[in-house]
Chains A and B, each alone.
Chain A
Amino acid sequence: MALTYDEIMEKVREALVDALGVDEDQVVPTARIGADLGAESIDYLDIVFRLEKAFNIKIPRGDLFPDNILSSEEFVQGGKLTEKGLQELTTRMPYADLTSFSQNPNVQDIADLFTVDMIVKYVQAKLGSA
């Protein structure tokens, strides 16, 4: 039987508490992984590892946290995502909420898209398609 949002949230919370040394009550759906929970680049590796273990899934590199969009001139110009870049991001992160980001798609704000809610939805999608 498929896991509910709350059940997934519980396991994601556990993974983030272990990976980032944060308190359980800090891990709310709107919390941003970097700005709110203090994750640094190396922590993303750890988070992916813990999610794979917790849900028995495979997370290919760049799947949960797309890492190659920003290095392409096609997608990024003048520090902002191009129309094409936004389209690419929407395809790559169907589980992220891009509504407010697309108003002013500054590259430096992209990390704010990585929220707890996004991770839960990603896992949901992953488990649903498995």
Chain B
Amino acid sequence: MRWIWIDKFIEFESGRRAVSIKNVTLAEEHVHDHFPGYPMHPATLMIEGMAQTGGVLVGEAFDFREKVVLAKVTRARFYCHVLPGDQIRFEANVMGEVRPEGASIEGKITRNGELVAEISMMYAHLDQSRAPLELGDENFVFNEDFIRMLRMRQLNQLKPSAQAARDVKVPLRRRIVITGLGVLTPAGNSASALAEAVRTGRSAVTAVSRFDAGPFPSRVAGEIREFDATAGIRKDQARYVKKMAKVMAVDIQLAVAAANLAILDTGLPLGDAKANEPVLPTIDHARLGMVFGTSFIPTELDDLAEPARASFVDGKFSLKGWGSGGIPKMFPLWLLKYLPNMHACHTGILWDAQGPSNSLTTNEAGGLLALDECARIIKRGWADWMLAGGAESRISPVLMMRYNLVGRLTTCNDDPPTACRPFDVTRTGQVAGEGAAVIVLEAREAAEKRGARIYGEVLGTGAGQTTAGINAVDADGRAVAVAVRQALAMAGVQPAALGAIVAHGTAFTPQDRSESAGLVAALGPAARKVPVTATKGVTGNMGAASGLADLAAALLFLKDGQVPPIVNCTHPDTEAGLNFVSGKPVALTSDLVLVTANAIGGQAAAVVVKLNR
């Protein structure tokens, strides 16, 4: 006979509280024999059930190293009978704390919320080795097998770990993998094109060709020459994109194009439009969502020119003229073309994504922060597929003039390919760029079930903020430090275990220095060892697309076990305290990679991934 009088635990807080249940049924012999003719659950066995609930609670507090014996039933009061068919609930609360010599508990038994009994008891700890000698092993209910099973099957799931109680950033159990990459950058329209340009040190920065930048102080840029937002998608989807193009600024078109590439890259089959199938018939569209990192989009001058001309009164621009002559000439849907949430809007419609959808306007940190949010959404169990996106074009006369005026852009225009020099002592500022990157995050169980190709696993993400000001960064890089620490903690990765860091590195000195300081603060002594690379020498600053494009490319360019050098970083800033890769690649010593983003304005983000290679 097994002397066990509870069925299972349903709540367990180590050293504090435990709740178990017991189903009383006619299948049990003792129910019939206690009072023949009136089957009921004996009160003594309720005391034993409470003793076992409290006994496991007390024993677990010292990791079952000591035997627990019931020393005294201080008080037991019963209020009603428990009959077959009832489920009773034992709740044991430790009075004060579990001490080396033992503990007291206060217990309560209920049935559907109705009080059945109140029982208080005391336990004594006996030394594990002495106890069997004094009392005989057979007198202990909980043997090793019982405790092993209890731990495996119940307590490990119920008990929030001590770490979790202290630190809410501990990951939930769902694991997240990367199964699709869609990237458009000045280096080409795929993640591998960017990876290859970084590996071979080929910069895609050229003289500005989009508009006449002649009078501008900065006349170099990373431009995307052409792309097709309808490539590879269904005819009905292509029709939608074509029709909506009039209300999609280039940022939005880039985002849609990257999302298409990313989804097509997952290998999820497209449905047959003629047969009226959903776009992705093998997945539940309610479990597909997205978050995009975006930026404000300046109105194209072509849209403004005619209304502006119509606003002139006596040869001068006039607000009154704008009201009477200008506004009627404005394209009536202009707002839809420039809203920063339309990336997700069109992508969501195009792919019938019915799950969570959001847009984050956090400047250059937007893409990685989107990934942070996507990972959390999957962990919460609200979606199985999330598109983490970022898209931005800075190749606009309005934006380039603005960034010129605030002194962020380089004015070294003579040799475009070497204009952007991240972490180099001769750096002179950012190069305006444009791009889009979408990374498909998928719950690991979903990806494994469909045999998906897995690029890597997202282990940890983090976000940080400062109050440095709208056009500033903190010199001590505290936002970066917060984000990196969070990402490492969530990943459970020590700084020294990292194989490589792909830093934001825009080549704008205050921004590079702030990022370096933040990395040094978060990584400690490991900062001098882990190789740091960066990609903006190739692309220029792609704004909200940056971090995700870096991550996507890194998943590919690190595959051969080499960390490529930072393009155009020939004289690394030695004062930074980091191990910048310069000149030639270095060996990747582990598959754990940190990617960071550090925006002017104070937003920072970090992600730790494990490469699958």
Contact A45 B333 (CB under 8 A): yes
In the bound complex, residues from chain B placing their C-beta under 8 Å from that of A45 are: 332-333
- Report the bound CA distance from A18 to B332 in whole Å: 14
Contact B246 A18 (CB under 8 A): yes
In the bound complex, residues from chain A placing their C-beta under 8 Å from that of B245 are: 21
Closest-CB distance, B330 to chain A (whole angstroms): 9
25 contacts between A and B (CB under 8 A): A18-B246, A19-B246, A20-B243, A21-B239, A21-B242, A21-B243, A21-B244, A21-B245, A21-B246, A22-B243, A38-B239, A38-B243, A42-B333, A42-B336, A45-B332, A45-B333, A46-B246, A46-B331, A46-B332, A46-B333, A48-B332, A49-B331, A49-B332, A52-B328, A53-B329
In the bound complex, residues from chain A placing their C-beta under 8 Å from that of B243 are: 20-22, 38
In the bound complex, residues from chain B placing their C-beta under 8 Å from that of A42 are: 333, 336
In the bound complex, residues from chain A placing their C-beta under 8 Å from that of B239 are: 21, 38
Cβ-closest 9 pairs across A and B: A21-B243, A21-B242, A49-B332, A45-B332, A46-B333, A20-B243, A46-B332, A21-B245, A38-B243
Secondary structure call for the A interface? helix
Q: Nearest chain-B residue to A58 (Cβ)?
A: B328
A29-63 near B? 1/0 per residue, CB < 8 Å: 00000000010001001101100110000000000
Given contacts A19-B246, A21-B243, A22-B243, 4 further A-B contacts (CB under 8 A): A20-B243, A21-B246, A46-B333, A53-B329
In the bound complex, residues from chain A placing their C-beta under 8 Å from that of B333 are: 42, 45-46
Closest-CB distance, B44 to chain A (whole angstroms): 75
Total B residues in contact with A, Cβ cutoff 8 Å:
12
B243-256 near A? 1/0 per residue, CB < 8 Å: 11110000000000
Q: Nearest chain-A residue to B244 (Cβ)?
A: A21
In the bound complex, residues from chain A placing their C-beta under 8 Å from that of B336 are: 42
- Report the bound CA distance from A104 to B242 in whole Å: 36
B412-440 near A? 1/0 per residue, CB < 8 Å: 00000000000000000000000000000
- Report the bound CA distance from A72 to B329 in whole Å: 33
B394-427 near A? 1/0 per residue, CB < 8 Å: 0000000000000000000000000000000000
Closest-CB distance, B311 to chain A (whole angstroms): 16
Q: Nearest chain-B residue to A48 (Cβ)?
A: B332
In the bound complex, residues from chain B placing their C-beta under 8 Å from that of A46 are: 246, 331-333
- Report the bound CA distance from A52 to B328 in whole Å: 10
- Report the bound CA distance from A19 to B244 in whole Å: 9
- Report the bound CA distance from A53 to B101 in whole Å: 91
- Report the bound CA distance from A53 to B310 in whole Å: 12
Closest-CB distance, A126 to chain B (whole angstroms): 16
B315-345 near A? 1/0 per residue, CB < 8 Å: 0000000000000110111001000000000
In the bound complex, residues from chain B placing their C-beta under 8 Å from that of A22 are: 243
- Report the bound CA distance from A45 to B243 in whole Å: 15
Q: Nearest chain-A residue to B331 (Cβ)?
A: A49
Indicate the member of B242, B328, B332 with the most A CB atoms within 10 Å: B332
- Report the bound CA distance from A49 to B243 in whole Å: 17
- Report the bound CA distance from A45 to B331 in whole Å: 10
Q: Nearest chain-B residue to A19 (Cβ)?
A: B246
In the bound complex, residues from chain A placing their C-beta under 8 Å from that of B328 are: 52
- Report the bound CA distance from A49 to B336 in whole Å: 15
Closest-CB distance, B349 to chain A (whole angstroms): 12
In the bound complex, residues from chain A placing their C-beta under 8 Å from that of B242 are: 21
Closest-CB distance, B248 to chain A (whole angstroms): 11
In the bound complex, residues from chain B placing their C-beta under 8 Å from that of A18 are: 246
A-contacting residues, B510-532, CB 8 Å = none
Q: Nearest chain-B residue to A21 (Cβ)?
A: B243
Closest-CB distance, A7 to chain B (whole angstroms): 22
A77-107 near B? 1/0 per residue, CB < 8 Å: 0000000000000000000000000000000
- Report the bound CA distance from A46 to B244 in whole Å: 12
Q: Nearest chain-A residue to B240 (Cβ)?
A: A21
In the bound complex, residues from chain B placing their C-beta under 8 Å from that of A21 are: 239, 242-246
